[in-house]
Every structure is written in structure tokens, then in C-alpha cells.
Amino acid sequence: MKIEDVVLTPVAFADPPLLNVMGVHEPFALRSVVQVRCEDGVVGLGESYGDAAFLGEVRKVVPELAGHDVFDLPGLKRIVTKALAGTVLTDAHGLIGGFSIRKTIASVYALFEVACLDAQGHYLGRPVADLLGGKARDAVDFSAYLFYKYGAHIGAQEDSWGEVVTPEQLVGEAKRMVEEYGFRSIKLKGGVFEPAQEVDGIRALAEAFPGHPLRIDPNAAWTVETSIRVAEELDGVLEYLEDPTPGIEGMAKVAERASMPLATNMCVVNFGDIEPAFRARAIGVLLSDHHFWGGMRDTQALSVTCESFGVGLSMHSNSHLGISLAAMVHVAAATPHLTYACDTHWPWKTADVIAPGALEFVEGAVKVPEKPGLGIEIDPDALARAHEDFVRCGLTKRDDVTYMRQWTPGFEPNTARW
């Protein structure tokens, strides 16, 4: 089935002032939406990053796609590789590790791969999970993704979550998320305050949510020594410790001493990182992410690799909308080894570009849509509004650092800061 044309729509959606090691989220998060329009009126949807550099690369591929068969994914890879011709995108999407030509191609390809698989599913009348080999599970578990946060953006009214900086406020945020979505696993985005304060936050969560698996992810904000100390302090409390310190070597030193598995979406971010990381026994869990691991099928290949080496598989998330959530659900459902509850920023947004109702959280899980393709539809009015927001907000990349300087002049992001 041939592609007739591709419509790329950059969009923005409101995002609360969430804190991390780099600073604070700006008032809008950026995404790209593609609609791959094929013969017979079939349309495939894809979603990915929306910063100007990424959009620039995607725009190089778009004109090359007319006439391409959506069932020819190796051919799609060749088109993307040729169009990008050696470009290396730096990380303007947030805390997903180093960059390389390979990762750049993988990221741009993934956007179109998802859309082609969605189109294939529509053509065949089968859900994408079936095209990926079939469902290993009917619903995919997600974790509550807690953030420390400011109560309001600069010059704006307080949002409904309010300020979250103390252990009590953190427990309040978790209660709301667990009540509204039914999550079991709870992840805290750390790297914001002194480790002792974040350890107190985890302890408060452990007390308030007995039996809920807990994770903390300071995005490499700690030294090896601090990471080992925190791992000792949280012995028996954490399900896994995510990216405590930078680099494979540092992670391996921590892993040697930590009782819980270490997880990463920062030091193992493409297939070339696997051999050194696994050899050094740096991690016990890898957070996959189809957006930069080369799409849904490469995520499954990654899973087989991890399983062969006894490494567990979870899933990473950046701020995203419903097309990405649908893709995450289909690939996670069709990947048997992906047994950890996946991350999602979903509760932090208030708008979407898809028609509501296709993706619901019940007891912390999203049922795999049974309709053809990804099982979702674009809401054209919502897409138009999100595009207007993109134009109006004027942002061209994610820049948590500069925004943070409006609160803390001179703020410098630092990995291994503590």
C-alpha cells in the first residue's frame, strides 16, 4: 500500500512546572504529529519530539516518502538514512543520554515506523500488537510518575497539583495519582534536592504506600560515593534505582555495591552501548523507549537481547500525547520480557490530539485497543488547537535550564552534583 503524502504537524501542550536535574519544565511541551496518508484513504499516525532540530530532520524525510510502500520498513530505513546524511541530533528532548548518528536515524525512523505500522494495521484490519507478533498481555501496567514541582508557572495561577517540595506534599501528589489512575509502582523524579531530602521523600512514600514498588531517578545527579550511600540507605525499599550516576563505568561501580538493580535510560541508549554496559554488569534493568530505540520492532529486538543477558526491561517516557501512549501500549503488550510497569507522563497533561476514550487507565493499566492499527483517531479540532499553541508559545526546543534561571539566577545543571 503506497504512501500518497505525509502531513507533519508540530504541536504544543500545557505542561506544569516539573523539576528535574536540568531545571524546570517550561509552560509548554513540544511534540510532532505525522499523518501518513495512503491509497484507499488509509491514514497512519505517529508522534515524537517537537523541537526545531528534530522537526528539521523529519522535514528532510517527508518529501521522500510519496510512493513508498508502508509494508517496506527496511526501505523506509534506507530513505531516512539517506535523507539524514550524517546528521547528529543533540538531545533537545530531555535526559535521554548521549547522541550519535545511529540514535538520530533511529529516532526519526521510529516516528515513521509507528505511522507505517498503524497504516498496515488499518489496511489488514488488525491491531498493531498483532503485527508485532501478538499480545503477551491484554493490558499494560504503568507507574505513577511523581515530580517535585513548583505550584505555578511564572506569572500564572497555581495549577491543580500545587507546590510539591516536602515529603508530605509528595505523598499528597502520589495519593491523587494512585486514586485517579490505580497505579501500583511509584517512581520519583529526583536529582532536584539534596539526596537526604529525596531519601526522606522515598521513606514517606514507603510508609504511605506499603507494598507499592518504589523507584527513584535522579538523572545521574549523584557521585558514585553518594549513589552507593543512598543505595545502602534505601536497601529493601526500592524496586530499582534509576540512573543514580553518569556513565557505564560509574553505574558499574554502584551496581557492584547496591542490593537493588540499577536501571537506565541514560547510559545505554543505543545498540552500541549494550556490549560495554552488559560486560561491566552496570545495569539490571533497561528502560526501553521506541522513540529513540528505532521504533517498535527494534524495541522487541532490544528485549530479546536483554532477556538473553538476564537484564530486565522497563519503559521510559518523556512528556507525550495519546499517539505515543497508544504506541507504547501496543509495543509493551507484544514484548513478553517487558514485565516492569512502564513510565508515563500522561497524568501531567490536560489536553490531547486524539479523540478521547480509546486509552483508559484502570488499576494502573491501559487495555490494548482492539480496533485496527493503534486503535486511536485524530481529533482534527484538538490537533488544530495544539498546533496554534505551538505557534503561539514560540518555543523551539526544550530548555529546562534557562527557564530555571528565572527562579534561581545563575542555576547550572550538573550531573554528579551531589
Write out the residues near Mg ion by the rule CB under 5 A: 217, 242, 265
Q: Which of 9, 20, 48, 344 binds ligand GKR (CB under 6 A)?
A: 20
Stretch near ligand GKR under the rule CB under 6 A, chosen from 56-64, 91-99, 132-140, 374-382:
91-99
Q: Where are the alpha helices (DSSP H) in 309-379?
A: 322-333
Q: Which of 18, 20, 36, 38 is nearest to 28 (CA)?
A: 18
Q: How many residues line the site for ligand GKR (CB under 6 A)?
A: 14
Give the pairing type, strands 144-147 and 186-189: parallel
Q: Coil, strand or helix: which one is 367? A: strand
Binding mask 320-359 for ligand GKR (x = CB under 6 A): -----------------------x----------------
The sign of the dihedral angle between the CA atoms of 328, 333, 335, 336 is: positive
**131: Cβ–Cβ under 8 A, 6 or more apart, which residues?**
117, 120, 121, 124
Annotation marks residue 122 as catalytic: no
Q: Which of 36, 96, 117, 186 binds ligand GKR (CB under 6 A)?
A: 96
Binding mask 259-298 for ligand GKR (x = CB under 6 A): ------x---------------------------------
Q: Which of 31, 68, 189, 212 binds ligand GKR (CB under 6 A)?
A: 189
What number of other Cβ atoms are within 10 A of residue 286's Cβ?
Answer: 30
One-letter amino acid of 403: Y
- Pairwise CA distance, residues 22 & 8, whole Å: 29
- Pairwise CA distance, residues 405 & 352, whole Å: 29
Annotation marks residue 77 as catalytic: no
Among the options 316, 330, 345, 397, which is catalytic? Answer: 316
- The interface partner of residue 20, options being ligand GKR, Mg ion, none and the CB cut-off 5 to 8 Å by kind, is ligand GKR
Backbone angles phi, psi at 254, to 5 degrees: -70, -45
Stretch near ligand GKR under the rule CB under 6 A, chosen from 128-136, 292-300, 314-322, 367-375:
314-322
Q: Coil, strand or helix: which one is 263? A: strand
Point out which residues bind ligand GKR (CB under 6 A): 18, 20, 94-96, 189, 217, 219, 265, 316-319, 343
Active site residues: 189, 316
